[in-house]
Structure 1
């Protein structure tokens, strides 16, 4: 990616392309121009053989979004691996809050190149300190045992309101939503947590349909990285639903602590997938959540586990 394209990825003015950029009902840009910015953010600059640099969008929250740094770190790891090896797992720790106003440097350690598996470790650095670490394993394609649990029965995504429509319906009641451009189309299967919280605690579960909001290039690693980006969205909602609280409507202090993903089968991130999330436990101001990604035809393509810091303040 050129310096101009990289600068445009972090500049909200980049959305002012020919014609007008579509807006959601709550006034947030979406669609192909926004997705193109995400693709540009994931196209890291190579500084040295094993060192890469990434940027954050100008319209960022106070801290770098966890899905962004995870996606960029996975891109850095993948750039040092033979294309015939697919990532099958990653394990990551969020060490310090990232500052979106400055670039992030990704240092890749080539741990091992075996006959079947390749292992990489990536450390994301800002101001000389690690803010994130990731280990990822890649494997040559092999044939063997194959089974998976079935997908839950849920309504089709076209029958459900968009995220923007949900927010617009409750604009006067709900505060604190991120109004940055949305590259991922998210549709809650049931009423979202900021609605159900009014009637108290519910089942520790959250289900959403998701897809990249546009067309992605035919780059398998890019689709995996976009899924990693999306996996940090809505996952901890399953924890909050159990306790009848939510970001913005209650004083909830939260942050991702660690994140693990296993990729089971090929998929396209610009096609609909169901993200089925449950929380088996919460204690010590930490909540654990697990998520499963299913394609529309019912194929289980990825599993996620994350622990988050969740403090409900008085």
Structure 2
């Protein structure tokens, strides 16, 4: 699965850009899986999508598939996923849910995402009935507010002359997730820097009041930019020639309710890389400093001969 974003969309002719609200509503539609039998779901295809399916989409659709088998008062608090094969935009994705456990407070579900009879992702998700407990949290990094920062598309515009035209159009297209990096970097010729990265993220428009959908959209967005963190000390990115990168696994913990239509700070670091793999961690804060989620991911970062 490609780090940082979805794969390019192909369009036969130029048409108007969708509004931010239309993009947000399209994302909700993409993640709203169809029940085709008991514990069997079909995920919508990304309209116009080509090539590999974005990993965050598969995780989010798998989560929405698991939700249907759990009592409404139990809310997802963690998920752990392994990518096995790249998804193909030319075929639908089928999700099979296994009801592994239902206890007094927790439920556990296993989801297998399939294409053409082969698994592309395995995921387990745990759900909990809400209760009170001891509380503490890490402090949010002291970074500029999102209103004071350029968008990711505006940053790419600075390096337009260095980016091939088809890739530039892909990078600057309208997207349902807005990203405003705190640290400016050149994706074509990145400099070597510490493995620390901060991104402000949010949905481009309102996605309603369904908390499960907000968590699914966060699962979708949490696969954006995380893998790049472990590449920074080496002065490479997923755009570097001869660089092969892909998410291998992905874990996400929800500490509290989230609102994806308001800015969240995605603060990431990468304590290790080696063996053609890199390990990345992320903490997700609200604007007022509340830690609402954490993420971890190991990815392939291979320099080909």
TM-score normalised by the chain length of structure 2: 0.91
How many residues end up aligned between the 2 structures? 292
- 1:240 Cα shift? 1.4
Distance 2:115 2:238 in 1: 27
What CA RMSD, in Å, does the superposition of the two structures yield over aligned residues? 2.0
Q: What whole-Å deviation, never above 9, does each CA across 1:237-296 have from its counterpart, x for those lacking one?
A: 111111101122433211110011111111201110000111111111001100010000
Match of 2:3 in 1: none
Q: Given the superposition, is the C-alpha separation of residues 281 and 193 from structure 1 closer, same or farther in structure 2, using an over 3 Å criterion?
A: farther
**Pair 1:255-2:246 in alignment:** yes
The answer as to 2:297 corresponding to 1:303 is no
1:112 CA drift (Å): 1.1
Corresponding position of 1:159: 148
Match of 2:275 among 284, 288, 291: 284
- Contact 1:64-1:99 within 8 A present in 2 as well: yes
Counterpart-to-counterpart distance in 1, 2:281 and 2:264: 16
1:123 corresponds in structure 2 to 112
Does the C-alpha gap of structure 1 residues 193 and 90 become closer, same or farther in structure 2, counting only changes over 3 Å? farther
Q: 1:163 to 1:265 in 2, by over 3 A?
A: same
The CA deviation at 1:59 is: 3.6
Structure-2 change in CA distance of 1:294 and 1:257 (3 Å): same
Correspondence 1:182 to 2:175: yes
1:261 match: secondary structure: strand
The answer to which of 211-220 and 173-182 deviates more is 173-182
Output the CA distance in 2 between the equivalents of 1:259 and 1:126.
Answer: 20
Distance, in Å, in 2 between the alignment partners of 1:285 and 1:44 is: 35
Q: Structure 2 vs 1, CA of residues 192 and 37 (structure 1 numbering), >3 Å: closer, same or farther?
A: same
Q: TM-score, normalised to structure 1's length? A: 0.88
**In 2 relative to 1, CA 195–205 (structure 1 residues): closer, same or farther, beyond 3 Å?**
farther
How far is the alpha carbon of 1:61 from its aligned partner?
Answer: 4.8
Paired position in structure 2 for 1:43: 32
Paired position in structure 2 for 1:105: 94
Aligned to 2:85: 96
- Matched residue, 1:6: none
Moved segments of 4+, more than 4 Å: 10-13
Runs (5+) with no aligned partner, structure 2: 1-8
Q: Distance in 2 between matches of 1:101 and 1:82?
A: 34
Per-residue deviation, residues 23-79 of structure 1 (Å, max 9, x unmatched): xxxxxx561111111100111110001000012213435211000000000000011
Match of 1:242 among 233, 258, 276: 233
Which one of the candidate residues 51, 68, 80 is aligned to 1:62?
Answer: 51
Aligned partners of 1:174 and 1:249 also within 8 Å: no
- 2: CA distance between counterparts of 1:215 and 1:11? 26
- Which residue of 2 is the match for residue 24 of structure 1? none
Map of 1:26 onto structure 2: none
The match for 1:82 is 71
Residue 149 (structure 1) aligned with residue 142 (structure 2): no
**What does 1:216-227 correspond to in 2, within 5 Å?**
216-227=207-218
Q: Which residue of 2 aligns with 1:207?
A: 198
The C-alpha deviation readout for 1:100-158, integer Å capped at 9, x for no partner, is: 11100000001111110011000000111100010000000111101001100000101
Q: Work out the CA distance in 2 between the residues paired with 1:129 and 1:181.
A: 32
CA distance 1:245–1:203, shift in 2 (3 Å): same
Separation of aligned partners in 1, 2:155 and 2:64: 33
